[in-house]
Amino acid sequence: MTKHFTRIRDLGCENARRLIARAKEMKDTNHRSDLMAGKSAILLFEKASTRTRVSFETALHHLGAKTIFMTPAESQLGRSEPLRDTARVLSRYNDCMIVRTFGQEKIDELVRFGSIPVVNALTDQGHPCQVMSDLLTMYEHTPDFSTIRVAWIGDGNNMANSWIEAAMYFPFELFMAFPEGYEPDRNLLGLALQAGAKIFCTHDPKEAIEGAHYVNTDVWASMGQEAEQARREKAFAGYMIDSNMMKYAAKGAKFMHCLPAHRGEEVSEEVFESEASIVFDQAENRLHMQKAILEWIFS
């Protein structure tokens, strides 16, 4: 049976928890293997990338695979070839698709019509590889997730959705603050709450950050939302994570961001460059977590 990683929910609770420990082991041992020797992976990216592209290409090389990078400008996707046709063709050439795109439905269509594993490297609805990497980063500081309170301050975007999914499988408390009209996927939130996730939502960022051990945020306008920048800046006034906001968090709280960050908007320069910031640990851990995910798929 072909394994895919399109959402954190694809893993199931046991596998999700096992992957955290495995990724930590891979990091500690500077893991290399020939698991994917002789295999090729196509990186199909409709959105620009730094961390995602480099971390995935490096992870694949560490496991012995060859990589091919493709954008719509360099393929028939840019000339409106049906995605289902692309899925069937690429499946005959490659062993895996790593996809960074807009709608989640594109990932689902590649899974439906292709015959090789598909990994979600980001959509507008979710960023599962990033959040799994963030969980690894927290695990390095606090192995017992049941003692952790995580704050999400900002947009109810793809990152927020994946944090909600993570809360279904890991026993941390998740306090989320969004401006009105910028809430995450309601159906997903309802599903997580029914599954027993400890999630609390508010429109007050100070209420969400109170006592938090990890403070998370993201840009206010993601790729494809640039035209909304001015409106979003107005809506998110008061949501910047600065030194005054961090005072509400628990003593020794860590600041997290998936990057790239807009200093002076969602986070101040002072907080971003402070000792509390673990953003570059998060960035590094993309490599190790994605190796663990690929190993899970191909083992």
User: Collapsing DSSP states into helix, strand and coil, what is residue 167?
Assistant: coil
Q: Which SS3 state, helix, strand or coil, does residue 11 take?
A: coil
Count of structural domains, the chain: 2
Is 32 annotated in the active site?
A: no
Within a domain: 15: yes
Structural domain includes residue 3: no
Alpha helices in the chain (DSSP H): 12-28, 51-62, 83-93, 104-113, 128-141, 158-166, 186-194, 205-209, 229-235, 243-246, 269-272, 279-298
In the set 127, 149, 232, 257, the catalytic residue is 127
| Residue 218 a catalytic site member | yes
* Residue 79 falls in the annotated catalytic set: no
Tell me the two tokens of residue 240.
Answer: 């910047």
Catalytic residue among 130, 155, 232, 288: 130
- For CA atoms 166, 50, 40, 100, the dihedral sign is positive
pLDDT digits (tens, 9 = 90+) for 204-236: 999 999 999 999 999 997 766 677 888 999 999
2 in any annotated domain: no
Residue 277 lies in a domain: yes
Q: Are residues 85 and 171 in the same domain?
A: no
Residue 139 lies in a domain: yes
Choice among 62, 257, 286, 288 that is catalytic: 286
Tell me whether residue 180 is in a domain. Answer: yes
When comparing pLDDT for 76 and 104, which is higher? 104
Are 110 and 195 in a shared domain? no
User: Does residue 92 fall inside a structural domain?
Assistant: yes
The CATH number that applies at residue 92 is 3.40.50.1370
- CA-to-CA distance for 118 and 2, rounded, in angstroms? 9
The pLDDT tens digits of the residues spanning 12-63 come to 999 999 999 999 999 999 999 999 999 999 999 999 899 999 999 999 999 9
How do residues 168-181 score in pLDDT, each as one tens digit? 999 999 999 999 99
61 is catalytic: no
Catalytic site residue 130?
yes
CB atoms within 10 A of CB 191: 15
77 and 115 belong to one structural domain? yes
What is the arrangement of strands in the sheet containing 66-70, beginning at the earlier edge strand? 66-70, 40-45, 96-100, 118-122
For residues 72 and 161, membership in a common domain is answered with no
**pTM listed for this prediction:** 0.96
Residue percentage of the chain with pLDDT more than 90 = 92
Angle of helix 83-93 relative to helix 104-113, nearest 10 degrees, comes to 50
Is 125 in the active site? no
Q: Which residues belong to the annotated binding site for L-ornithine?
A: 158, 218, 222-223
Question: What's the pLDDT at 221?
Answer: 78
Q: Which among 218, 232, 288, 290 is annotated as catalytic?
A: 218
Half-sphere exposure of 125 (CA within 13 A, CB side): 16
272 and 183 in a single domain? The answer is yes
Show the domain range for 192.
130-282
